[in-house]
Structure 1
Amino acid sequence: MSLSFPPAFRSFPAFSSLCRAAAVAAGAVLLTVAPAATAAQAADEGFDRVTVESGSITSDGELTLSGSYRCLSTGDSVRVAASVERGENVWYGMDSIPASCDGSWHQWSNTKATEPGAYEPGPVRVKTSLVEFRRSGFIPMPTVRSEQVQEVVLTEV
């Protein structure tokens, strides 16, 4: 669809400037929205992913989990978080670690001390998450970008 204006309007300098200003504004909006749309589309297509591949426990209760992740950054802080099921729907959270969101796969590993005997070698359920902290006023609010619950076999080391 094209708009047609009478010749008197096309030669009017203010009309020409207004058209140019509108075109520049539309271009700026597209440039601003395009990266956000690409990141949102990647998240919708399951691009942001996190897994846990192994776990170990020592006799004194040191728990280690390892896995991989990939994500695309939207500008705020993204972290890899992991929790181990301690009872039915009771999760023991580990400290989160910073993620590098450049679209490539990265390895992650996290170790935390637990009470001796809290976990035994064998299968456990692990919840891993990619969490982005987005600013909402002065308070960063967590947004889960990807989450997965998997069974892992803890080995004794």
Structure 2
Amino acid sequence: MSFRQAVGAATGAALLLLTAPAAAHALDEALVPAAAAIPAAPVAAAESVTVDTAGKLSVDGTITLSGTYRCSGATGPVFVSSSLVQGGGNVRHGIGGTRAVCDGAEHRWANTARLDTTAFAAGEAQVEATLMELRPGFLGLPLPHFHATSQRQVMLAQA
């Protein structure tokens, strides 16, 4: 096969791939002409995760962060994770994980972790909370699906 033939074959294949979705859509519309009459699914309740303005730091290095979350329509397990950084550092420390219930209602979460007592001190810190679902994916392997994330400056107080 010459170079010109190879380029022509590749171009033809690319055009076929580019036009296939439009052709499939047109076929769907021809087969289901009343599709426009089907009402849209109701919009899911807003999904969110918040972080409280204060965190607790005990003398043994145990840190507790908390907040609220809301989610719905989960097909796999959902968790609220949180992380903490202080003093302009580059290293985020994971602070626990809580199993979430995605029923559309607002719930409280609280995560706790015991870190080196010298890692953090009372004062300002940056917290990030994430509401993440593990959905079944290719060959049943769980894949992450992020429902919501939030960052907030908090005050770590000695507990």
Unaligned runs of 5+ in 1: 1-21
Task: Give the structure with the higher percent strand.
Answer: 1
The residue aligned with 1:146 is: 148
- 1:129 maps onto 2:136 in alignment: no
TM-score normalised by the chain length of structure 2: 0.69
Give 1:83 deviation, angstroms.
0.5
SS in 2 for 1:55: strand
Residue correspondence of structure 1 range 95-106 to structure 2 within 5 A? 95-106=96-107
TM-score normalised by the chain length of structure 1: 0.70
Aligned pairs, number = 125
Unaligned runs of 5+ in 2: 1-31
Structure 2 letter corresponding to 1:62: T
Q: Does the aligned pair in 1 maintain the 2:81–2:111 contact within 8 Å?
A: no
The CA distance in 2 between the partners of 1:70 and 1:131, in whole Å, is 12
Give 1:153 deviation, angstroms.
0.3
Residue correspondence of structure 1 range 68-83 to structure 2 within 5 A? 68-83=68-83
Q: Does the aligned pair in 1 maintain the 2:47–2:148 contact within 8 Å?
A: yes
Identical counterparts, % of pairs = 35
Residue correspondence of structure 1 range 17-32 to structure 2 within 5 A? none
Q: Does the aligned pair in 2 maintain the 1:59–1:117 contact within 8 Å?
A: no
The residue aligned with 1:60 is: 60
SS in 2 for 1:95: strand
SS in 2 for 1:143: strand
Give me the CA root mean square deviation: 2.5
Structure 1 letter corresponding to 2:109: W
The residue aligned with 1:14 is: none
